[in-house]
A and B are shown apart, each in its own frame.
Chain A
Amino acid sequence: MADVIQQQVQTATISGHHEVDYLSDGNGIKDWLYTVDHKRIGIMYLILVLTAFLAGGLLAMAIRLELLTPARTIMDAETYNRVFTLHGAIMVFLFIIPSIPAALGNFVLPLMLGAKDVAFPRLNLASFYIYVLGACMMLGAILTGGVDTGWTFYTPYSTSTSGSVALTTMGVFVLGFSSIFTGINFIATIHKMRAPGMGWFEMPLFVWGMYSTAVIQVLATPVLGITMVLLVLERAFGIGIFDPRIGGDPVLFQHFFWFYSHPAVYIMILPGMAIISEVIPTFSHRTIFGYRGIAFSSVAIALVSFIVWGHHMFTSGQSQLINGVFSFLTFIVGIPSGIKVFNWVATMYQGRITLKAPMLFAISFLLLFTIGGLTGLFLGSLSVDIHLHDTYFVVAHFHYVMMGGTVIAFLAGLHYWWPKMFGRMYNEKLAALSCALIFVGFNVTFLTQFVLGSRGMPRRYYNYLDQFQPLHQFSTFGSWILGLGFFIMLGYLLASLRGPKNAPADPWGGTTMEWQALSPPITHNFSGTPVLTRAPYDYRNVPQGVDK
């Protein structure tokens, strides 16, 4: 292993002039705020995204605490409505959507392609500042009274309720541009910035996932933008499109909203799958099973995501015909998702598995995502959904996909690339402990909610029948275990930053190009232009991680 590291150091120094790593390359405040380096922008995104996650997480803890008893526990009903709306809006728009693409993807994607930067570095920085602006607008909305509509802003409630609906929706509008810019940047980068020798099927699978995500970002987000503008105008002046009191159609709003927001679910999960496709082969030390299957299933998911949105609206009053059509189409999504899960498991089969933290998270992902995906099929069945719609079963389902899927995959990616990003290893034992706590806490919290939902507990309710109390309490205990797990993680990750830069270039025995750059990489990523000489996931002659 040592000779590999040695070789990296040599490649970095033979270029003639001394090149410093990107973290040390100017540390004034302006060096960061005006940077166009994709790695620094990625880190700035990471900081804000994690802050949003912390805020959204604390709100979730507050929600669970309130539900400890059937009556008032810590807040009144009005506040409760605002808190769960805020939890949803922050988690969706400020955390999950930018989390993997804009934070981790920004950092890793050009490195994986052997590029010096993304295609449009200034657009990348603009995307970051637009995100900041959007976040500020949402913060402003909180300070001026908050919103109690739920993150879906359904009309006619959203056109009649008081509160800062306009400011929040405009914040969402602005955040949409940030997402679009990232998408445009990634597509152009993947098309034009691949290293010499890297064809489409030599790209790491993470890149395929990012590509599919970017396609959705570009195609769907503009519709969200115009929907938010229409909502604000409807609310302020009355267009007559969504508000039934002036001849509008509230169900049309749901069509507009879900035309974006269902594909957006895949903006959230595809990057998660993309990370898992990297972590599993690396820690199984085995070539990925069915490269093309995984690559194409990403694209297939992206495309199919646009024709299933009506399954959110089975009880909305949309036509019976279209209910049936959407229910049927929804099952198609199960196929590419299933292909992926089988391929991951097949990759692990007979592999030499090392249970490092990223792999632990990846295995958690496999279990949790499978539960989330399968319960999705229940909900996609028209007749079953009529019973389960707007119950805790739905809440549990999308938390299994969004948190058990995306967030856990995000954590896998964070632990996988942490040494690359900061040049430092973290405490592996604490990482394993934190992963275990999160896994247990998560299941205690949300598996319970499947039961609650199937017994008829509706979502978004402040009070509930006494008979539900034991289950609600159990779920709340789970949230505490979850919180503890994240708290430990925060501790050891921050602690690692105080340590020396001790990470080798390729601590895990990864084969994709980012592991050929130094940890942390130099400002221009590689000295010279790297050329790909063999396919990704070829583990022959690659040692398996540092202390193996």
Chain B
Amino acid sequence: MSVVETIQHDHAEVHDPHQQHHFATAEQQQDASKIGMWLFLVTEVLLFGGLFVGYIVMQGRFPEAWKSAHHHLQRELGALNTVVLLVSSFTMVMAVQAAKLNRRKQLIGNLWVTIICAFIFLIVKYFEYSHKYHEGLLPFKAFYSYTGPQVPGEFHFFSFYFMMTGLHGFHILGGIAVMLWILKRAYAGEFTSQYYTPVDLIGLYWHLVDLIWIYLFPLLYLIS
């Protein structure tokens, strides 16, 4: 008669302390977390996507301004930051592997390098921003005060430059905060080859931040 039968829980089975009660197995929990993270990354892609679409459509409206404005960006600094982020992505994937292989010291070391790279990125960005600030190349009609020769529509470019790199920068900051927290847990020895989901997830997040920069760099710095 009944549609369902019930399996009684075998409470004698050894429970991983990290496994939440509503999951049947640790594997189910890890898979669910991963799907959740990927879905979150999807929302990130579409959030940035709105800015990308706006940027590209506005470029179509003001192609001359875009060409002229991007000369104010320093290609070398953009390239440097690209290298920094790529290296940090590498150390991040090494950190995930270290966690998976139970290598605590390697995990901590790689996390530190990743965090340091993130800071280098922000410092370079700071120099770029302050340079723009002094020239008056600021976002939005309200703040843009550059008086040199220019084509109509350049403030549109700088609005997008600051919005896109700014949103990206906030993601770097957020990443640093979470990585520090993961680092603290790594020092406490919480991660083992049995349980390393948080390292895995922050890794995915960090690679996405890298991935977005991979597109931001040519779009903003290398248009001609």
A and B bind: yes
A residues whose Cβ falls under 8 Å from a Cβ of B:
3-4, 7, 11, 15, 114-117, 119-121, 123, 180, 183-185, 187-189, 191-193, 195-196, 218-223, 225-227, 230, 233, 236-241, 246-247, 249, 252, 256, 511, 513, 516, 524, 526-534, 538, 541
Known: A116-B22, A219-B46, A529-B24. A511 touches B3 (CB 8 A): yes
B3 and A247 within 8 A (CB): no
| Closest beta carbon of chain A to B74's beta carbon, Å | 23
Tell me if B152 counts as interface (CB < 8 A to partner A): yes
Contacts of B18 in A (CB 8 A): none
In the bound assembly, the distance between CA atoms of A184 and B152 in angstroms comes to 43
Tell me which residues across on chain A come within 8 A of B163, comparing CB atoms: 233, 239
Q: A180-B43, A247-B153, A513-B4 are in contact. Are A256 and B142 (CB under 8 A)?
A: no
Is B104 on the interface with A (CB-CB < 8 A)?
Answer: no
The answer on a CB contact under 8 Å between A188 and B39 is: yes
Q: Does B32 contact A (CB under 8 A)?
A: yes
Q: Does B120 contact A (CB under 8 A)?
A: no
B147 at the interface (CB under 8 A from A): no
Known A239-B159, A241-B159; contact A222-B22, beta-carbon cutoff 8 A = no
Smallest CB-CB separation from A530: which chain B residue?
Answer: B4
Bound form: Cα–Cα A532–B58 in Å: 54
Closest to B138 in A: A237
Instruction: Tell me the bound Cα distance from A60 to B140 in angstroms.
Output: 39
Given A237-B142, A239-B139, A239-B159, residue A184 in contact with residue B36 (CB < 8 A): yes
Chain B 131-162 interface mask (CB, 8 Å, partner A; 1/0) = 00000000111110000000011011001100
A180 to B159, CA, bound (A): 27
Answer whether A533 and B50 are a contact pair too, CB < 8 Å, given A188-B32, A237-B143: no
B178 within 8 A of A: no
3 closest residue pairs by CB, A with B: A238-B141, A226-B50, A237-B140
Q: Is the CB of A230 within 8 A of B50?
A: yes
Residues of chain B contacted by A117 (CB below 8 angstroms)? 22
Chain A residues in 8 Å Cβ range of B160: 239
**C-alpha spacing A219/B9, complex, angstroms:** 37
Smallest distance from the beta carbon of B56 to chain A beta carbons, Å? 11
B13: Cβ under 8 A from any A Cβ:
no
A-B contact pairs, 24 of them (CB 8 A): A121-B20, A121-B22, A188-B32, A192-B35, A193-B23, A219-B46, A222-B44, A222-B50, A223-B46, A223-B49, A223-B50, A230-B54, A237-B142, A239-B163, A241-B58, A247-B152, A252-B57, A513-B3, A524-B22, A530-B5, A531-B5, A531-B6, A538-B3, A541-B1
B224 sits at the interface (CB 8 A): no
Known contacts A227-B50, A239-B139, A240-B141, A184 near B6 by CB under 8 Å? no
Q: Which of A119, A246, A528 contacts B6 (CB 8 A)?
A: A528
Please name all residues of chain A whose beta carbon is closer than 8 Å to the beta carbon of B2 when the two chains form the complex. Answer: 7, 516, 533
Complexed CA–CA distance, A233 and B160 (Å) = 11
Q: Judging by beta carbons under 8 Å apart, are B156 and A247 in contact?
A: yes
| Neighbouring A residues of B24 by C-beta, 8 Å | 529
Nearest-CB residue, chain A, relative to B62: A247
Is B7 interfacial (CB 8 A cutoff)? yes
User: In the assembled complex, which residues on chain A have CB atoms less than 8 Å from the CB atom of B6?
Assistant: 11, 526-531
Inter-chain contact A4/B9, CB cutoff 8 Å: no
Q: How far is the CA of A236 from the CA of B163 in the complex (A)?
A: 14
B28 within 8 Å of A (CB atoms)? yes
Interface string of B5-33 (1 = CB under 8 A from A): 11111000000000011111000100111
Query: Contacts A114-B4, A532-B3; is A252 near B47 (CB within 8 Å)?
Result: no
CA A528 to CA B50, docked complex, whole Å? 46
- Known contacts A247-B61, A247-B156, A192 near B28 by CB under 8 Å: yes
Q: B42 near A: Cβ within 8 Å?
A: yes
- B77: shortest Cβ distance to chain A, in Å? 24
- B127 at the A interface (CB under 8 A): no
Q: How far is the CB of A126 from chain B (nearest CB, A)?
A: 12
Q: Size of chain B's interface in residues, with CB distance under 8 A?
A: 50
B3, B35, B47, B54: which contacts A191 (Cβ < 8 A)? Answer: B35
- A160: shortest Cβ distance to chain B, in Å? 14
User: In this assembly, does B40 line the interface, its C-beta being within 8 Å of a C-beta of chain A?
Assistant: yes
CB-CB under 8 A from A256, the residues of chain B are 50, 53-54
Tell me, in angstroms, the Cα distance from A297 to B7 when the chains sit together.
34
B51 within 8 A of A: yes
Residues of B bordering A, CB below 8 Å: 1-9, 20-24, 28, 31-33, 35-36, 39-40, 42-51, 53-54, 57-58, 61-62, 139-143, 152-153, 155-156, 159-160, 163
Q: Contacts of B50 on A, CB cut-off 8 Å? A: 222-223, 225-227, 230, 256
Residue of B nearest to A246 (CB): B141
- In the bound assembly, the distance between CA atoms of A123 and B35 in angstroms comes to 14
CA distance A252 to B54 in the complex (A): 8
Q: Which residue of A is nearest B4, CB measured?
A: A530
Instruction: Find chain A residues with CB under 8 A from B8 CB.
Output: 15, 527-528
Q: Which residues of A contact B20 (CB under 8 A)?
A: 121
Q: How far is the CB of B54 from chain A (nearest CB, A)?
A: 5
Given A238-B141, A516-B2, A532-B3, CB of A184 within 8 Å of CB of B51:
no
In the complex with contacts A238-B141, A247-B156, A222-B4 CB distance below 8 A? no
User: Within the complex, what minimum Cβ distance (angstroms) separates A448 from chain B?
Assistant: 40
> By the criterion CB–CB under 8 Å, are B3 and A516 in contact?
yes
* Complex Cα–Cα for A529 and B7 (A): 5
> Known contacts A226-B51, A233-B163, A529-B24; is A188 also within 8 Å of B4 by CB?
no
A contact residues around B3 at 8 Å (CB): 511, 513, 516, 532-534, 538
Q: Known: A121-B22, A513-B3. Contact between A184 and B39, CB under 8 A? A: yes
Query: A116-B22, A196-B7, A532-B3 are known contacts. Are A219 and B42 too (CB-CB below 8 A)?
Result: yes
- Chain B residues contacting A249 (CB-CB under 8 Å) are 57, 61
Please measure, in the bound complex, the distance between the C-alpha atom of A11 and the C-alpha atom of B22, giving whole angstroms: 19
Give Cα A226 to B46, complex, Å: 9
Closest Cβ neighbor of A117 among chain B residues: B22
Measured in the bound complex, the distance between the Cα atoms of B44 and A511 in whole Å is 39
Contacts A123-B36, A241-B58 known; 17 new A-B pairs at CB < 8 A:
A7-B1, A11-B6, A114-B4, A115-B22, A117-B22, A120-B36, A192-B35, A193-B23, A222-B45, A225-B50, A227-B50, A233-B140, A238-B142, A252-B54, A516-B3, A532-B4, A533-B5
Contact B159 A192 (CB under 8 A): no
A240 touching B156, Cβ below 8 Å? yes
Bound together, the chains give a CA A526 to CA B24 distance in angstroms of 13
CB distance from A118 to the nearest CB of B (A): 8
Residues of A within 8 Å of B49, CB to CB, are 222-223, 226
A6 to B48, CA, bound (A): 55
Residues in A whose Cβ lies below 8 Å from that of B46: 219-220, 222-223
On chain A, the residues within 8 Å of B35 by CB distance are: 119, 187-188, 191-192
Min CB distance, A302 to chain B, in Å?
14
A104 to chain B, nearest CB (A): 20
**What residues of chain B lie closer than 8 Å to A115, measured between beta carbons?**
22
Most buried by B among A227, A246, A247, A530: A247
